[in-house]
Structure 1
Amino acid sequence: MTRARFQTFDDPGHREGATRLAALRKTLGAQGLDGFVVPRADEHQSEYVAPGAERLAWLTGFTGSAGTAVILTDRAALVVDGRYTLQAPAQVDTAVITPVQLAETGVEAWISDHLKSGQVLGYDPWLHTPDGVARLQRAVDKAGATLRAVDVNPIDAVWSDRPGQPAGAVVLHPLELAGEAVPDKRARIAAALDKAGCAALVISDPHNLAWAFNLRGGDIDHTPLALGYAILPRQGRPTLFLGSADIAPELRDALAPLADLAPRNAFETALDDLARGGPIRLDAATGAIALKVRIEAAGGTVETGPDPITGLKAVKNAAEIAGTRAAHLRDGVAVVRFLAWLDGRAEAGSLTEIAAVEALEDFRADSGLLRDVSFPTISGSGPNGAIVHYRVSRETDRAVEPGELFLIDSGAQYRDGTTDITRTVAIGSPTDSMCDRFTRVLKGHVGIARAVFPKGTTGAQIDGFARAPLWEAGLDFDHGTGHGVGAFLSVHEGPQRIAKTGTVPLEAGMILSNEPGYYRAGEYGIRLENLVLVEPRTIPGAERTMLGFETLTLAPFDRRLIARALLSQPEHAWIDAYHARVRDTLAPHLDAPTRAWLAQATAPLA
């Protein structure tokens, strides 16, 4: 087996929190600021960002995908959500930075409680949306202080070896995989703008730019994006502003009939010209307030709201669905080969978390079609599995020990689809408590998989299906049950989600994860994740249009952890039917030993 080629294991965390905070505070003082807000964001408000945008990680050591630090002259806080309850205190220097749980105290509440009257709080206008700044303003007003935008992020002034802007290759995403030509997409976007009464759209989300123009790029690890912007008028030619210099002549030729190409540094000037038209739609989720300020300063009118591309992109067409199914078949073969390999080695006690990651990536790479992993693999043995978004490093790597649970959450990027799967397996003999918790999580997973619901139902309305078996035992989990997934795009894609906050109605063609979990701090974590496709569901005598889920992921659940007595007959039948489909679909693509292992792993439950 070759060494893994995509995962990195250097921990970006550091022990320099106090030194870096002191340097930042000195710079803030020189700029007349008493504090500064440091979100985990880039100028596109993305979840996955380029190394040079990892300001929060550089300053605090926290490597999670969401969080905000507030640095004041005499104290500092890092506000994180429930996914990072354990991770944040483990990564930051708690002597100088206080981790704060979002559910207990939000960013704005912490600011209003700790910022003093007359002080000045700074923020980078490229890293906050207009709504986000409005919330900061209310908090600052409550404290009797002042909020000020900065021209240059002060962290950049003290981060001496900050990486430069990426400039990866930009390529066309072929029509046979995209499923819809760019002119047709543009026509649908223009119709949405017309309905909203907008003259143009500023595309600030690189995911939407990639979808609208059938492009993929190499600027961000794990997500095939070209960082940049686009201006798409309701009538007339769009303009793409790309930071990459690596645009092949054939790509320029292909784009020439569709749009103009311009360098990224021409974007702000183009906003000035754009302001002379009618109302401009700026995406509420990803459009920085710097864009709104620039357009309005030139006399333009900004309408902040949803980018219509986000909703269009979420509903996959026939080609994207076919590609996703093909990707899951390929990925299922790799995951089953890995699980069989793991079963033969883990009990010996010589397997480590990193070794497991490298093996899984090698099995995926054996297909010859793997482009990247879709996110850094979460490989958690024993207590590390209880850290929801644990990222193994050389420093934290531990052996997979007998008597523990091992959680591995991973995914792949193929040209035809994006995958995301989590399995939890027993190493040796599990305890009765482990089996009880595992089965409750599995029951919740099956509850989502079997759900049938009327058109118009939101993710919030079915989120409880996943939690009910845990609630019955006084348990719960502190993350959403499911997120949207792209088609060779981001593994985390909106606007759809299955969560208490999932307000967007689910539509046929949307792809989501189904991943309830349970986490016992200091002992183990359990998460079971498949991707599902929303599909029409025919019910005899139905009086409403009904929807349900097709499970796309193909890999067995660990039968050794299933407490059969806790299962209802429909749950039992679903698991047996799913395992039979996994076996029948994957067996022809496996070697004889792995086929034999899969036959045992998918045998009917007693």
Structure 2
Amino acid sequence: MFQTYDSQSNPALHPPRLDALRRELAGRGLDGFLVPRADAHQGEYVAARDARLAWLTGFTGSAGFCIVTPDRAGVFIDGRYRVQVKAEVDPAAFTPVPWPEVRPSAWLAEALPEGGRMGYDPWLHTRREIREMEKGLSGSGIALVPVEHNPIDAIWPDQPEPPLGPVRLWPDAVAGETAAQKRARIAGLLRAGDNHAAVLTLPDSISWLLNIRGADVPKNPVVQSFAIIEEDGRTAVFADPQKFGAEVRTALGNEVTVLPVEAFGVALTNLSGPVLVDPASAPDAVFRLVESMGTDIAEGADPVIMPKACKNPAEIAGMRAAHLRDGVAVTRLLCWLDQRAADLDGEPLTEIDVAQKLEALRRDEGILDISFDTISATGPHAAIPHYRVSQASNLRILPGQVLLVDSGAQYGDGTTDITRTLPMGPIPEAAKRPYTRVLQGMIALSRVQFPRGVAGCHLDALARAPLWSEGMDYDHGTGHGVGAGLSVHEGPVRISRVSKIALQPGMILSNEPGYYREGAFGIRIENLIVVTPVDSSDGRQMLGFETLTLAPIDRRLIDTTLLGADEVAWLDAYHARVRAEIGPLLDGPTRDWLELATRPLAH
């Protein structure tokens, strides 16, 4: 429900852990070590066993890393976490470093003398990461040294055991394709590229390919595993065999073999090339093992990642159904919050109260789990884009504050992610103009039509332009890919300044511009959208977006003098759709509230 982080939340523990790591490194003849957030699968969320960065530093963000040297320890974080990191790490032991503005290789070149030996765990860094680091260190005399056993594991006495979540089947009717059909499709791609096999290291790729789901990492129903798929479609999965029950094994069939994780390294050394391996996602260790036998490697993207990103009609139908039920839960929450806002002085309401209420409402709609830890943030906490409430940080919501709730759920047919920002009681005038600019950016992206071949980097500015006109911006991407009953953050497609992957029909993304005023408030409005073909009057192949999310967007923070007629028309049409689809599923009082919350803006 909400994060406690156990020992990670105690700042007093981290300097002694840092000292212990330095002693361990000195004993191994190393001058430093790279500590990433990642596990061997490069997922955003990691199991408790793999939370090495949080254990060492206290930083709990979903992206970042630490570089430890004999006299420095830099915690590298991007713009999303520059407020959060200051509250989580001990400034006497760790120095926050703005990244990517400061390159880790440049920082290292200053921190270590020529001849320095910087250790890294080759299972926790991709081949691309290591190449970039080596390129940056070229001429410095500093060497990157792969280590066989992670030194943090050596000093972590109560490190949790590896996860052992049971594997379940994902219904073919919801998947829209059987696992055998998917394997045949990927095998065809391998043959077309003259590759004998592909190594898969992303758990969501493997889960999608085999129509299975798991419970190894929080909120993401993936099966932590590795896999090798051959050009004839036969597939070996490397995971703890205890996860796979008889029903799952029978469904997978004779062409899918389940082997222990320990067998993965041996299997990599027995492959016949060319072998397709993705340098952007596969661990450096995978390349080293394949290369150790002189086997040819064909570097290229994970062959599953694009088929998975382009959802088929059955997957899109499942996502629509999930969003309908989710919209009922979120609408009930918004109605409840309106009622509670009337008496915040008399009856306390906290951030955790909101998160717990929303999860309870979603459970009434049949969720399997939430899709990420709910961001329930009031006042200054809302200015932290990825704030996670804990018992220690839990704030009481005060009249006149802005409340930001970013949340999502995993259903039996899809995954949701939605953000709504609303005033609690009196309207804070200072928030109205930025709120309106954020809304305009979200509407602009919702309405856009674009030719095939356009990428996320081309559309990102549309969502930012209204904010830019006021000298404002936000330090996160505008949209991320979303899985269908899988990870709420899914690659490779994004809407951001750096994403050059062309958008294709069936891709599902978030649309979530924001604005954050440190120490005061934060604003974000988020819907999920799916790329769809659009008719063109001149015959050009065009694309647009269908909005999947169904829940009211708060009207009270809107400065209507800033909106154009087309923006008003979009919002009124969206709210009319919410009334028509969500309204019949609500009880009478909540339906009455929805009628008022979604009435045309001119009224």
Asked whether the two chains share a fold, i.e. TM above 0.5, the reply is yes
Picking from 90, 96, 101, the partner of 1:99 is 96
8 Å CA contact retained: 1:82, 1:103: no
8 Å CA contact retained: 1:576, 1:605: yes
Looking at structure 1, the residues matched to 162 and 451 of structure 2 have their Cα atoms a distance apart, in angstroms, of 46
Picking from 136, 141, 145, the partner of 1:144 is 141
Residue 544 of structure 1: how far off its partner (Å): 1.3
Looking at structure 2, the residues matched to 550 and 200 of structure 1 have their Cα atoms a distance apart, in angstroms, of 37
Residues 244/83 of structure 1: CA separation in 2 closer, same or farther (3 Å cut): farther
Residues 431/406 of structure 1: CA separation in 2 closer, same or farther (3 Å cut): same
1:459 is aligned to 2:469: no
Residue 348 of structure 1: how far off its partner (Å): 2.3
Unaligned stretches of 5+ residues in structure 2: none
Looking at structure 1, the residues matched to 281 and 122 of structure 2 have their Cα atoms a distance apart, in angstroms, of 12
- Structure 1 counterpart of 2:176: 179
**3-state DSSP of counterpart to 2:460:** helix
Residues 296/61 of structure 1: CA separation in 2 closer, same or farther (3 Å cut): same
Alignment of 1:120-139 (within 5 A): 120-139=117-136
1:167 is aligned to 2:160: no
Picking from 540, 543, 559, the partner of 1:544 is 540
Residue 573 of structure 1: how far off its partner (Å): 0.3
1:564 is aligned to 2:560: yes
Looking at structure 2, the residues matched to 226 and 358 of structure 1 have their Cα atoms a distance apart, in angstroms, of 27
Q: Deviations over 1:315-367 (max 9, x none)?
A: 00111001000000000000000110111113422110000000000000012
8 Å CA contact retained: 1:69, 1:77: yes
- Structure 1 counterpart of 2:354: 356
Residue 411 of structure 1: how far off its partner (Å): 0.3
**3-state DSSP of counterpart to 1:573:** helix
1:70 is aligned to 2:67: yes
- Structure 2 counterpart of 1:297: 292
Alignment of 1:212-291 (within 5 A): 212-235=209-232, 237-274=234-271, 277-291=272-286
State the identity as a percent: 50
Query: One-letter code of the match for 2:41?
Result: H
Looking at structure 2, the residues matched to 490 and 446 of structure 1 have their Cα atoms a distance apart, in angstroms, of 25
Looking at structure 2, the residues matched to 106 and 491 of structure 1 have their Cα atoms a distance apart, in angstroms, of 28
1:575 is aligned to 2:589: no
Residues 118/10 of structure 1: CA separation in 2 closer, same or farther (3 Å cut): closer
After TM superposition, the structure 1 stretch with the greater mean CA deviation from structure 2, 223-232 or 8-17, is: 8-17
- Structure 1 counterpart of 2:595: 599
Query: One-letter code of the match for 1:137?
Result: E
- Structure 1 counterpart of 2:410: 413
8 Å CA contact retained: 1:130, 1:284: yes
Query: One-letter code of the match for 2:559?
Result: A
Query: One-letter code of the match for 2:261?
Result: R
Residue 137 of structure 1: how far off its partner (Å): 1.7
- Structure 1 counterpart of 2:305: 310
Looking at structure 1, the residues matched to 199 and 452 of structure 2 have their Cα atoms a distance apart, in angstroms, of 31
1:527 is aligned to 2:556: no
Residue 95 of structure 1: how far off its partner (Å): 1.0
Q: Deviations over 1:157-193 (max 9, x none)?
A: 1111110111110111110111101222122212221
- Structure 2 counterpart of 1:473: 470
After TM superposition, the structure 1 stretch with the greater mean CA deviation from structure 2, 377-386 or 180-189, is: 180-189
Residues 92/8 of structure 1: CA separation in 2 closer, same or farther (3 Å cut): closer
8 Å CA contact retained: 2:402, 2:428: no
Looking at structure 2, the residues matched to 29 and 82 of structure 1 have their Cα atoms a distance apart, in angstroms, of 33
Alignment of 1:426-441 (within 5 A): 426-441=423-438
**3-state DSSP of counterpart to 2:304:** helix
Looking at structure 2, the residues matched to 542 and 393 of structure 1 have their Cα atoms a distance apart, in angstroms, of 55
Unaligned stretches of 5+ residues in structure 1: 1-5
**3-state DSSP of counterpart to 1:536:** strand
Query: One-letter code of the match for 1:53?
Result: D
Q: Deviations over 1:434-479 (max 9, x none)?
A: 1101000000000000010001110110100100000000010000
Q: Deviations over 1:385-432 (max 9, x none)?
A: 000100011110001111110001000001100000000000122233
**3-state DSSP of counterpart to 1:345:** helix
**3-state DSSP of counterpart to 1:370:** coil
1:493 is aligned to 2:511: no
8 Å CA contact retained: 2:2, 2:352: no
Picking from 307, 317, 322, the partner of 2:317 is 322
8 Å CA contact retained: 1:463, 1:500: yes
- Structure 1 counterpart of 2:337: 342
After TM superposition, the structure 1 stretch with the greater mean CA deviation from structure 2, 323-332 or 494-503, is: 494-503
Looking at structure 1, the residues matched to 335 and 104 of structure 2 have their Cα atoms a distance apart, in angstroms, of 45
Count of residues paired in the alignment: 597
Query: One-letter code of the match for 1:98?
Result: T
**3-state DSSP of counterpart to 1:355:** helix
8 Å CA contact retained: 1:68, 1:79: yes
Q: Deviations over 1:188-209 (max 9, x none)?
A: 2122212322110011111100
- Structure 2 counterpart of 1:587: 583
**3-state DSSP of counterpart to 1:561:** coil
Picking from 552, 555, 559, the partner of 2:551 is 555
Residue 595 of structure 1: how far off its partner (Å): 0.5
- Structure 1 counterpart of 2:80: 83
Looking at structure 1, the residues matched to 165 and 352 of structure 2 have their Cα atoms a distance apart, in angstroms, of 28
Looking at structure 2, the residues matched to 311 and 254 of structure 1 have their Cα atoms a distance apart, in angstroms, of 24
- Structure 2 counterpart of 1:370: 367
Residue 305 of structure 1: how far off its partner (Å): 1.7
Alignment of 1:2-13 (within 5 A): 6-10=1-5, 12-13=8-9
1:332 is aligned to 2:330: no
**3-state DSSP of counterpart to 1:560:** coil
**3-state DSSP of counterpart to 1:531:** strand
Q: Deviations over 1:514-550 (max 9, x none)?
A: 00000000000000000001001113x2341000000
Q: Deviations over 1:553-588 (max 9, x none)?
A: 011111110111100100000000001110111111
Residue 244 of structure 1: how far off its partner (Å): 4.7
**3-state DSSP of counterpart to 1:165:** coil
1:189 is aligned to 2:190: no
Query: One-letter code of the match for 1:575?
Result: L
Looking at structure 1, the residues matched to 354 and 125 of structure 2 have their Cα atoms a distance apart, in angstroms, of 38
1:394 is aligned to 2:357: no
Looking at structure 2, the residues matched to 129 and 502 of structure 1 have their Cα atoms a distance apart, in angstroms, of 19
Looking at structure 2, the residues matched to 142 and 493 of structure 1 have their Cα atoms a distance apart, in angstroms, of 37
8 Å CA contact retained: 1:46, 1:286: no
Q: Deviations over 1:489-532 (max 9, x none)?
A: 00001111100011100011000000000000000000000000
Q: Deviations over 1:43-78 (max 9, x none)?
A: 111111111000000000000000010000001101
After TM superposition, the structure 1 stretch with the greater mean CA deviation from structure 2, 244-253 or 409-418, is: 244-253
Residue 23 of structure 1: how far off its partner (Å): 0.5
- Structure 2 counterpart of 1:3: none
Query: One-letter code of the match for 2:333?
Result: F
After TM superposition, the structure 1 stretch with the greater mean CA deviation from structure 2, 355-364 or 126-135, is: 126-135
1:504 is aligned to 2:501: yes
Looking at structure 2, the residues matched to 575 and 596 of structure 1 have their Cα atoms a distance apart, in angstroms, of 19
Looking at structure 1, the residues matched to 193 and 458 of structure 2 have their Cα atoms a distance apart, in angstroms, of 28
Residue 10 of structure 1: how far off its partner (Å): 4.5
After TM superposition, the structure 1 stretch with the greater mean CA deviation from structure 2, 184-193 or 76-85, is: 184-193
TM-score, scaled relative to structure 2: 0.97
Looking at structure 2, the residues matched to 380 and 240 of structure 1 have their Cα atoms a distance apart, in angstroms, of 41
